[in-house]
Amino acid sequence: RETVLDGDRELAVNGWISASIGLPGALGNALREAGLPSDNITIIDRRAGQLQPAVFFRDQADLSLPARVTGTVGVAALIVRPGGASQQLIVRGPFQLSTERKAVLKTVEEIIQVHAEQWMPELRLWTAPAEVVFPNDVV
């Protein structure tokens, strides 16, 4: 399957932040094939270690955020393109997670908003279903 890169091929980061969107299981391979670092990927809406509270889509959510990250992170997602014959590797950044956490989460939100039909979070993120928490946004 062809992969189209949407972002900077020269992005140098110490780790990646992503979500359960598109093809998260193939994200590491896609990053490696694009010549980008492919280890240290954190899927924030998947249970992995201790959950941390953070504002996500304008409400408090429990996310799997890295406890300690030194250096920079990028945001990445591997999305299935219309027709399913190719995929799009989206990479954004770099960010300092320790000082730019809001920007990192906003970038993840933006990717999810564009490709919402491919987002399947594994965690219950909010205290109530999204339809209740965001009544004007969820159809």
pLDDT given at position 69: 66
User: Burial level of 38, CB count in 10 A (0-12/13-18/19+)?
Assistant: middle
3-state helix, strand, coil in the chain (%, to 5): 20, 30, 45
Residue 138 counted as domain residue: no
Dihedral-angle region of residue 22 (phi above 0 means left; psi in -120 to 50 means alpha; beta otherwise): left
Residue 137 counted as domain residue: no
Q: What is the DSSP string of 37-72?
A: --S-EEETTS--S--EEEEETTEEEEE---S---S-
pLDDT given at position 50: 79
Q: How far is CA 85 from CA 1, 51, 53, in A?
A: 6, 35, 37
pLDDT, averaged per 10 consecutive residues of the chain (139 residues), comes to 89 94 97 93 87 90 81 95 94 93 96 95 83 74
pLDDT given at position 139: 58
Residue 77 counted as domain residue: yes
Domain count, the chain: 1
Residue 89 counted as domain residue: yes
Residue 139 counted as domain residue: no
Residue 121 counted as domain residue: yes
Q: Residue 11 is part of which domain span?
A: 2-132
Residue 45 counted as domain residue: yes
Residue 50 counted as domain residue: yes
pLDDT given at position 122: 87
